[in-house]
Amino acid sequence: MGKPTGFLEYMRETPLDRSPLDRLNDWAEFHLHMDERKLRNQGARCMDCGVPFCHTGRLISGMAAGCPIHNLIPEFNDLVYRGLWRQAYERLCKTNNFPEFTGRVCPAPCEGSCVLGIHNPPVAIKNNEYSIIERAWEEGWVLPREPRVRTGKKVAVIGSGPSGLAAAAQLNTAGHTVTVYERADRPGGLLMYGIPNMKLDKRAVVLRRVELMKQEGITFICNATIGGDGPTDIEPREILDQHDALILCTGATQPRNLAIEGRQLAGVHFAIEFLASGTRALLDRTPPAITAAGRHVVVIGGGDTGTDCVGTSLRQGCRSVTQIEIMPKPPLERQPGNPWPEWPKVLKTDYGQEEAIARQGADPRRYLTTVKKFLGDARGRLQSLVTVRIKWDKNDKGQFVPVEQPGTEEELPAQLVLIAMGFLGPEQPLPKEFGLETDARGNIKAEHEKHRTTHPKIFAAGDCRRGQSLVVWAINEGRAAARECDKFLMGATQLP
């Protein structure tokens, strides 16, 4: 602990963002940089607690408390305070393969469990992490590290999202020959097509890391569906025969539907379709297949994906955007039933809502509201939808359920509806092709920290095993699955 009184001398500071109206004119990342003095002050605020909950990585009340990949946070904070940036980078990379991803898109459960946060704003851990890795790239410290010796073992990783990339990176470090198969046209999975460019730049950040992994000896094959019939698709039996082990990292890509009247109308889409369309158009420099331009947009869902739909719709030039949320408006401060170190369930105005407020003059969110039906014209095109207010009451089984409030129906204009209600689990054809067992939710059965499926050569990691979760949990799972796969191949492992 370099400065014992740092948490008393300095308040929390995070980088400024470009103004909402300014950043709506482009797709560039909107966070600005902090100068080194302020970054070191934030490192000084870290108290090097005797019991540092920030890196515990446990589930409390169903939510992450602390860092799931167990970043050595007090250590790299102290090194930042001392100005020892290279050592901070080396310490950070002991636990995290991709700090440039988590430093941008992780919700920072570490900060929610920061001990200083009990009585003061927590240490700005996430921004220090981001600053460490970006300095490392700028200084040329991030170099390809190809293993000195190859084991002769071949591993296929199916899916190139955060869990697949983490598994591939770790297995390559162990000396195995790794091939990553991705059904999309570019690697990255959720990182490429599920998160918009203004949060995570595709060329400057995602593809930068993929290119480094290629230099380290990892092979990426895109436009490849296992079990498909395309020219680059592969039969499941063939991929099993050609590799000594497989790790499935296919994600939880089945979106939750809203099966109500009018769902079939043109203009009603899943959020992930819309976001992928926007990113692909940006990268290919072509018009998006699904556009918000000139339309009244309604986003159904209040999570991060819903926020991304709001920000994307505004950048595409929508006439208006409204965000429907079935849950009540969160409180401004922690409630007694949500104590530290749980994730703080408090009101957050994210970048998309900030931009909507700046453009439209009001918060786009409507709480305790659900959609009853979609209305269209004679040609089957969406024109409006009907909402109703709800309240949460207990049913005869003691469960809280939404109850419609009579007389609260309202019709809203809408030519584009984006369903952002989360995901149900992995798509089922692939587990069936390999004959794998799934649980009641359709997730691939594989014990946490073991990751072995019901097939002896196949492991599973990330959202396809645990269900929809955070990028940082996906990295945790990819690393753990790689460790178990290495042990299976070699009889022992030295992977962390």
The total of other beta-carbon atoms located within 10 Å of residue 376's CB is 18
Q: Which CATH superfamily is domain 257-421 in?
A: FAD/NAD(P)-binding domain (3.50.50.60)
Judged by DSSP in three states, 87 sits in helix
User: 451: which residues sit within 8 A by CB, 6+ positions away?
Assistant: 247, 459, 460, 461, 465, 477, 480, 481, 484, 485
* C-beta of residue 415 within 8 angstroms of C-beta of residue 298: no
Q: Would you call the peptide bond into 109 cis, given omega within 30 degrees of 0 as the criterion?
A: no
pLDDT score, position 1: 65
Q: Give the CA count within 13 Å in the CB-facing half-sphere of 230.
A: 12
The total of other beta-carbon atoms located within 10 Å of residue 380's CB is 11
Write down the domain spans for the chain. Answer: 6-139, 154-253+424-490, 257-421
Q: What is the pLDDT along the chain (496 residues), one digit of tens a residue?
A: 678 899 999 999 999 999 999 999 999 999 999 999 999 999 999 988 888 899 888 888 888 899 999 999 999 999 999 999 999 999 999 999 999 999 999 999 999 999 999 999 999 999 999 999 999 999 999 999 999 999 999 999 999 999 999 999 999 999 999 999 999 999 999 999 999 999 999 999 999 999 999 999 999 999 999 987 777 678 999 999 999 999 999 999 999 999 999 999 999 999 999 999 999 999 999 999 999 999 999 999 999 999 999 999 999 999 999 999 999 999 999 999 999 999 999 999 999 999 999 999 999 999 999 999 999 999 999 999 999 999 999 999 999 999 999 999 999 999 999 999 999 999 988 999 999 999 999 999 999 899 999 999 999 999 999 999 999 999 999 999 999 999 999 999 999 9
Residue tagged 């794998």 (tokens): 436
Per-residue HEC secondary structure of 32-62 comes to CCCCHHHHHHHHHHCCCCCCCHHHCCEEECC
Nearest to 302 by CA among 254, 364, 359: 364
Distance between CA atoms of 206 and 164, rounded to whole angstroms? Answer: 13
- The tokens describing 195, both together, are 């998160």
The yes/no answer on whether domain 6-139 falls in CATH 3.30.70.1350 is no
* Same fold: 6-139 with 154-253+424-490: no
The b/e string for 170-195 (b: 16+ C-beta within 10 A; e otherwise) is: bbbbbbbbbbbbbbbebbbbbbbbbb
Concatenate the DSSP letters of all residues of 293-335 into one string. Answer: TTSEEEEE--SHHHHHHHHHHHHHT-SEEEEE-SSPPPPSS--
pLDDT score, position 51: 84
Q: Edge-to-edge strands of the sheet including 416-419? A: 268-270, 416-419, 296-300, 320-324, 365-366
Question: Which CATH fold would you assign to the domain 154-253+424-490?
Answer: FAD/NAD(P)-binding domain (3.50.50)
Nearest to 4 by CA among 84, 81, 112, 110: 81
The whole-model pTM stands at 0.95
- The tokens describing 486, both together, are 């290495």
* C-beta of residue 288 within 8 angstroms of C-beta of residue 317: no
Distance between CA atoms of 77 and 308, rounded to whole angstroms? Answer: 30
Strands 177-181 and 410-413: unpaired
pLDDT score, position 48: 86
